[in-house]
Structure 1
Amino acid sequence: MQVTETLNDGLKRGYTITVTAAELEAKVNEKLIEAQPEVEMKGFRKGKVPMALLKKQFGQRLLGEAMQDAVDGAMNKHFEDSGDRPAVQPDVKMTNDDWKEGDDVVVALNYEALPAIEAPDLSGISLEKPVVKADDAAVDEALQNLAKSAQNFDDKDGAAENGDQVTMNFLGKIDGEAFEGGAAEDFPLVLGSGQFIPGFEEQLVGVKTGDEKSVTVSFPEEYGAAHLAGKEAVFDCTIKAVKAPAEAVIDDELAKQFGADDLAALKAQIAERLEAEYAQASRAILKRGLLDALDEAVNFDLPPSLVEAESKQIAHQLWHDSQTDVDQHDHSHGDIETTEESDKLAVRRVKLGLLLADIGQKAEVEVTDQEMTQAVIAQARQYPGQERQFFEFIQKNPQMQQQLRAPIFEDKVVDHIVGQITVTEKEVTKDELQKAIEDLENEG
């Protein structure tokens, strides 16, 4: 078996692998000898079929397996000897298309190698980590918002205004015919909430308990239900009650509505939740700072195919972000042209991805089965009632498993690096932290 280099340009590699006819024959004989003890054939005892007869009967079938084994073995040995790791699946093609039994097999192997990466001096990286304390003002603000979400209403005698709750029965009709989903009884609607289609709530301003009101509206052209989109409908409404917002009372009773024993316990829960939110935001800012520092600290050749694939994916997402009327899963628009912006982002992502993977591998960072299970459970919650199907889908889909594993691995590598750099905590206000997060999101 012979391996000859044909290309060595940057990270691009090309080789010709030649497997001689004699090597193939030896492989076939090896497989026949391995199978001989189990072969049964009329006129012969099990395991006693002559090799010549076995070769005549099974030789052609085993020849293809022998070719594949020989080429795979040569490739594996090449990667082991060279230390190369292909960035993507290597391109392997047989070059002698007119091959016949008795000829050598000549295969062209082409791939892009992953670059050799020299880890940066982490001791030279120094970052600030913003820290926010959940003070009384923040807890009180969150408590006020909770009280608003638990808004109660009291009966009123006058006409309904924006902010009031109207309880009603309604029946919707299109061209005089009732339609599915267009009726309800004792339905509570807060006027001005935007819960119903545009124009509906405005026409209920001024109604009183006991009123009968016909509301005429048109469903939006882009309405989710195609059979209703763009059509005019008349809703016959019977007003059963009009209620005004009651003043929110922050006390132990409010706390019990949210599962706390008393107000003090609810405040403690809120403070704990706020601290967790601040810590998550703070970590995101620290992580961005770390990635920026690593991006500046290292430079190495990148596999063009990885950068190109990443740029296409980024360009696709950027296009979708600018097309609010197109479903994220709609790919009917075809390929999206890459841009200077997508290319620049792709270079950064591929470089940092390879660097973090290299650091994680050398540090023997691993994602545990428990961490994977927790990630799957978290994703499954997005599909209530279909959790079992989701679990089965993940089990059968290695690509989805990798998509769940990758961010966990990255965060663990980031934690590993953070433990080796200088991190100084800086106390900031909640507003300053929020501004920093907004800036981070705007930078992309």
Structure 2
Amino acid sequence: MFWSNKMQVLDDNTQNLNRTITITINSEKLSKAIEKELINMSKTIRINGFRQGKVPMQIIFQRYKNSIVQDTLNKLMKENFINIMIKQKINVIDIPIYTPGTYIENSDFTYTVEFKVYPIIKLKFLEEIKVEKPLITISDYDINTAIDVIRQQNIKWIKQDTIAQKEDRVTIDFISYIDGKKIKDGKISDFILILGKGHMIPNFEDNIIGYKPGDKFNINSNFPKDYHLKFLRGKTVNFDIKLKKVEKPIFPELNKSFIDNLGIKDGSVSSLRNIIHKNMELESKSLIYKSIKNQIVKEILQLNIIEIPIALVNHEIDVINYQSLQERKKNKKLHTDSNLPRKSLENKAKKRIIIKLLINNISNQYKLETDEKIVNKMIEEIASIYKDPQEIINLYKNNDDMINNIRYINIEKQSIDIVLSQAKVIEKEIDFNTLVSQFKETTDNI
């Protein structure tokens, strides 16, 4: 072994997650690593008077010694710390802080790392948890509903010179005002809206019904008090609207031509229904798992079984805010508040922490390992709903992040199975669409 370590527990209290470790890298390993880095650099470095790859090692080392040593030390410090954490099965939170010692040539190198860890929890509480396990039945009604949705997604819109009615698609221009003053960026052109879907604020869509193309009119709408933009919360906004176009929906017939266009080779209704049934079975498995996981977390919170460290809650809220910021950047919605209120995120953060604590502790205490056969089966199952399953399988196999996520899900599912084996489980029959609706209506899913 080319390194040694000594870990100091700063505080074994569950509310303090700070730890430090002192690691020493053997001089022999360090010298070999520096030499390797030097050889790699010599293959690409260009120095006047020498051909590429022919620069003497001594000259390279003289010129680039500091950067070579620093790069090597940085790499070894991280590698050794990660190896120790894996070997000792310590779960690290956040980014570790590395403090290097003094480098002396041909001597051992010592450095320290400060980091935070997930606390260890006792699993005796599992028998106190009560879980309602859904038993899903997929009926003809569920499949018929899915077919109706597919038909709605393939509607053709026909332009007509008639008054706008519910379920029509309209194209409008509008300018918005508060107290007679135009709102910044409140002028919108060629805005497309399906009436009656509730996509806009209350009364906005209803007030367009009855007008025809070319009409200009004025409406008032009240914004909710919890609207995401602060300056609009609880305000009455006046809209000057011009109705430019009204389109009526034409639903496609369920025939061979329509089914062919969906990518079903034989174009038969029975094949379409079979594929929908298979997709519903896959979605059912996912919904059942999510339902059980949500219930377990909710039970742990209600029973106050796990003491969640404040430091961990604060860290998770920072993670949620960061993820939210990245999502807003991606969707170009940076005009919204930079951070969500911490109080509103506390419950979400606690739920995420509980599932992490549960998985980490169960996987360590039960020595769970990834089953690669099951991982491959999970990937094949995901791929089966796509037109070219092999393409999706290859995508996973060639992407470490994607396949590692499936491996984590495999460990998570094993952990949930262990919870269920000890918890009080009650089975309850439920139809597919009811369970889907419950998930859509629930805002606190993990």
Give the TM-score normalised by structure 2. 0.52
The 8 Å contact of residues 320 and 328 in structure 1, kept in 2 or not, is answered as: no
Aligned counterpart, 2:235: none
Write the letter of the residue equivalent to 2:210.
Answer: E
> Is it true that 1:310 corresponds to 2:316 in the alignment?
yes
Per the alignment, residue 229 of structure 2 pairs with none
Which runs of no fewer than 5 residues in structure 1 stay unpaired?
43-48, 175-180, 183-188, 205-212, 222-229, 382-386
- 1:365 corresponds to which residue? 370
**How far off is 1:350 after superposition?**
1.6
**How far 1:310 sits from its partner (Å)?**
1.3
CA deviations over 1:287-314 (Å, ceiling 9, x no partner) = 3234445668996676765432212344
Corresponding residue for residue 355 of structure 1: 358
Work out the CA distance in 2 between the residues paired with 1:26 and 1:195. 63
**TM-score, normalised via structure 1 length:** 0.52
Q: Tell me which residue corresponds to 2:414.
A: 413
Q: Secondary structure at the match of 1:202?
A: coil
Residues 107 and 236 of structure 1: CA distance in aligned 2, closer, same or farther (over 3 Å):
closer
Secondary structure at the aligned position of 2:95 is classed as coil
Q: Contact 1:14–1:109 at 8 Å: present in 2 too?
A: yes
Q: How does 1:421-436 map to 2 (within 5 A)?
A: 423-428=425-430, 433=435
Letter in 2 for 1:8: L
1:166-202 CA-partner distances (Å, limit 9, x unpaired):
99xx999x9xxxxxx97xxxxxx99878999967763
The secondary structure found in structure 1 opposite 2:211 is helix
Query: Within 5 Å, which residues of 2 pair with 1:6-405?
Result: 8-10=10-12, 11-16=17-22, 27-28=30-31, 57=62, 60-61=65-66, 63-64=69-70, 67-68=73-74, 71=77, 75=81, 79=85, 84-94=90-100, 107-116=111-120, 118-119=122-123, 127-134=131-138, 162=165, 202-204=210-212, 214-216=214-216, 254=254, 256=256, 259=259, 281-292=287-298, 306-314=312-320, 329-330=333-334, 333-339=337-343, 341-360=344-363, 362-366=367-371, 368=375, 371=378, 401=402, 405=406
Distance 2:168 2:345 in 1: 49
Aligned residues: 378
Give unpaired runs (5+ residues) of structure 2: 44-48, 50-55, 176-188, 222-237, 260-265
C-alpha separation between the residues in 1 aligned to 2:124 and 2:93? 22
In structure 2, C-alpha distance between the alignment counterparts of 1:282 and 1:428, rounded to whole Å: 11
How far does residue 111 in structure 1 lie from its aligned partner after superposition? 1.4
Q: Indicate if the aligned counterparts of 1:359 and 1:413 stay in contact, CA closer than 8 A.
A: no
For 1:443 and 1:269, the matched residues in 2 are separated by 28
Corresponding letter in the other structure for 1:128: E
Q: Is the 8 A contact 2:165 2:195 kept in 1?
A: yes
C-alpha change, 1:412 and 1:93, in structure 2 (3 Å) is same
- Secondary structure of 2:210's counterpart equals helix
Contact 1:132–1:428 (Cα < 8 Å) also in 2:
yes
SS at match of 2:10: strand
Amino acid at match of 1:346: A
Partner SS state of residue 352, structure 1: helix
**Contact 1:160 / 1:166 at 8 angstroms: preserved in 2?**
no
The one-character-per-residue Cα deviations of 1:343-400 (angstroms, maximum 9, x if unpaired) are 343233223213224545732135736755876999999xxxxx99xx79x978x6x6
Q: Is the 8 A contact 1:307 1:343 kept in 2?
A: yes
Deviation, structure 1 residue 160: 6.1
CA contact (8 A) 2:6 2:21 kept: yes
Alpha-carbon distance in structure 2 between the residues aligned to 1:347 and 1:191: 39
CA 439–107 in structure 1, closer or farther in 2 if over 3 Å, else same: same
Q: Distance in 2 between matches of 1:289 and 1:395?
A: 35
Report if the CA contact (8 A) 2:33-2:72 is conserved.
Answer: no
Q: Does the Cα contact within 8 Å between 1:12 and 1:112 map onto a contact in 2?
A: yes
Contact 1:312 1:342 in 2 (8 A): no
**Separation in 1 of the partners of 2:128 and 2:271?**
44
The alignment-based identity, stated in percent, is 17
Residues 315-353 of structure 1 show CA distances to partners (whole Å, capped at 9, x for unaligned) of 6789999xx9x96852874444522x5334323322321
User: Does the aligned pair in 1 maintain the 2:24–2:108 contact within 8 Å?
Assistant: yes
SS in structure 2 of the partner of residue 87 of structure 1: strand
Deviation sequence 1:247-270 (CA, Å, 0-9, x none): x99xxx745575397778877777
Q: CA RMSD in A?
A: 6.9
Deviation at 1:9, TM superposition (A): 0.7
